[in-house]
């Protein structure tokens, strides 16, 4: 069997993306993989030997995550996919009511502008009126939001609300084509508003420069037709999903990481939600986000364009769409696959006995692993200023860099030992337990995971993380050039 490993998991499989496994059922395949790649067991299974909730297993296009399928012999040449959170059929009718469609009219300039749509049999005048009557929320004006916002505006979506609380920074310009160098330090929603005005001044554009939280998300999306998830973090992703279920709004989801992307439609006509596919996110730091792991520039254009296409099909009421499906795209190896997503009757938000009934009543920090568990020994750390002072003083210590190779190429500590998280347990003997060991990552999250990983492996030496990660060290100035590269 060929087992395909998603990019977010490759570090635990010695960076292999495809592994030939001489086994014929899921249980034996997983045993083989965890025996051959010892570090993979931590990411695939928890302490009780249960498969982690953010990992799904597919055989062909069938979800085989449930243990009841693990002993079933697979057909010869079946491809198996380990799919982590990164993170259908034809509609019967448009999600836009006829009353709203009939209330819309076009002037001569709009007839000329949308002529190519009006000529399409599947769109025509009725379809274009539905587009103009639609009210869409786009959460995130970054890499995925850039193509989504521009294509929805170009298509003539009547009301577009964009929610984002970030400002434009230089590293955004590589893939966030909505923004230019003139927009640096401006709120992303302000930049987006200018671009949409240049595309189509007839659009009602609503810019919300806020951070979505449990106490404001329902008010921000309620009354809209579709929500498009263009975010890059797990906390907001689950927050959006739950709010959409509670408000009864379909969600067009997209996610990217390095060369891979995912697109799906959730909560359409009481169909599966995002939690049905991924009941829980990985613990903080276990799997890097897009902002930590990067993505090739055209990838968000590919995934975001597909998201915009799905939005328009839902508005118009045409074609086959991704409801109950997940499209997985591998741009590096030019592979794509559509996987089935089944409704989970035990889902805590959309199942038959839902336990989550109000967004504001749910503790997302705890659910997403962002709260420190009380039983855990707290992880101590140094601020960038404190670490810089120790470096200046020549204090005896070991620096361990757990970042990806491409991250270290951008900014590095010259004397740091490089040990990826997946190798820490077996390489713990390279560390000196008699002196302090400081762990370094991009934002200070993976370094905490690294310390807890070594604690579980029995390492007893003093360990500290760099608070805020290497991002927080960028403005530190050393008195001698050799201290920092």
Q: How are strands ordered across the β-sheet holding 159-163?
A: 204-208, 159-163, 135-139, 226-229, 251-257, 260-266, 325-330, 335-340
Q: Tokens 């929610």 correspond to what residue?
A: 163
- From the candidates 230, 244, 273, 290, which is the catalytic residue? 290
Structure token pair of residue 369: 């692993």
The residues, any chain, with a CB within 8 Å of residue 463's CB and separated by 6 or more, are 379, 436, 437, 438, 439, 451, 454, 455
Is residue 467 a contact partner of residue 382, using CB atoms and an 8 Å limit? yes
Structure token pair of residue 129: 């009126």
Q: Across the chain, how many H-helices and E-strands are there?
A: 17, 18
Report residue 86: phi and psi, to 5°. Answer: -105, 80
Concerning whether 290 is annotated as a catalytic residue, the answer is yes
Cβ-count burial of 290 within 10 angstroms (0-12 exposed, 13-18 middle, 19+ buried)?
buried
Q: What is the DSSP letter of 51?
A: B
Q: What is the DSSP letter of 426?
A: T
Q: Give the three-class secondary structure for 425.
A: coil
Is residue 130 a contact partner of residue 172, using CB atoms and an 8 Å limit? no
- Which residue, among 232, 282, 234, 272, has the nearest Cα to 251 in the 3D structure? 272
- From the candidates 244, 276, 350, 441, which is the catalytic residue? 441
- State how far the Cα of 124 lies from the Cα of 379, in Å rounded to an integer: 61
Structure token pair of residue 269: 């006509």
Catalytic sites, residue numbers:
290, 441
């Amino acid at each position: 069997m060929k087992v395909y490993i998603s990019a977010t998991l490759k570090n635990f499989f010695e960076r292999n993306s495809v592994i030939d496994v001489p086994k014929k059922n899921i249980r034996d395949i997983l045993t083989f993989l965890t025996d051959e790649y010892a570090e993979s067991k931590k990411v695939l299974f928890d302490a009780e030997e249960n498969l982690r909730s953010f990992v799904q297993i597919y055989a062909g296009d069938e979800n085989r995550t449930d243990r009841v399928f693990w002993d079933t012999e697979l057909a010869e040449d079946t491809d198996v996919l380990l799919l982590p959170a990164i993170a259908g059929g034809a509609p019967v009718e448009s999600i836009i009511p006829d009353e709203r469609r009939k209330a819309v009219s076009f002037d001569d300039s709009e007839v000329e502008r949308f002529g190519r749509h009006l000529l399409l049999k599947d769109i025509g005048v009725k379809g274009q009126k539905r587009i103009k009557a639609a009210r869409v929320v786009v959460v995130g004006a970054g890499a995925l939001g850039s193509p989504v916002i521009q294509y929805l505006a170009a298509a003539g979506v009547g009301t577009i609300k964009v929610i984002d609380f970030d400002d434009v920074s230089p590293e955004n310009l590589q893939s966030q084509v909505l923004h230019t160098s003139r927009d640096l330090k401006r709120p992303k929603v302000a930049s987006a508003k200018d671009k949409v005005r240049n595309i189509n001044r007839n659009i009602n554009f609503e810019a919300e420069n806020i951070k979505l939280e449990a106490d404001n998300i329902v008010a921000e999306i309620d009354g809209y037709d579709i929500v498009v998830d263009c975010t890059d973090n797990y906390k907001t992703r689950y927050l959006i999903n739950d709010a959409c279920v509670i408000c009864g709004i379909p969600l067009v989801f997209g996610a990217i990481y390095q060369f891979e992307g995912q697109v799906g439609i959730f909560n359409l006509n009481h169909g599966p939600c995002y939690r049905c596919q991924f009941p829980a996110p990985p613990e903080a730091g276990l799997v890097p986000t897009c902002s930590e792991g990067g993505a090739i520039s055209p990838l968000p254009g590919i995934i975001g364009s597909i998201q915009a296409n799905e939005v328009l099909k839902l508005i118009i009421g045409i074609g086959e769409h991704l409801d109950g499906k997940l499209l997985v795209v591998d741009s590096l190896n030019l592979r794509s696959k559509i996987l089935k997503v089944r409704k989970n009757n035990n889902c805590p938000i959309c199942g038959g006995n839902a336990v989550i009934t109000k967004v504001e009543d749910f503790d997302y920090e705890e659910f997403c692993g962002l709260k420190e568990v009380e039983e855990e020994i707290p992880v101590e750390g140094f601020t960038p200023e404190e670490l810089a002072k120790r470096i200046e003083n020549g204090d005896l210590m070991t620096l361990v860099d757990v970042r990806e190779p491409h991250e270290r190429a951008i900014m590095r500590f010259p004397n740091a030992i490089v040990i990826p998280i997946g190798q820490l347990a077996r390489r713990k003997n390279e560390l000196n337990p008699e002196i302090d060991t400081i762990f370094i990552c991009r934002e200070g999250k993976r370094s905490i995971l690294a310390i807890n990983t070594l604690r579980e492996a029995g390492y007893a030496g003093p360990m500290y993380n760099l608070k805020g990660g290497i991002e927080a060290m960028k403005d530190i100035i050393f008195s001698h050039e050799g201290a920092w590269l």
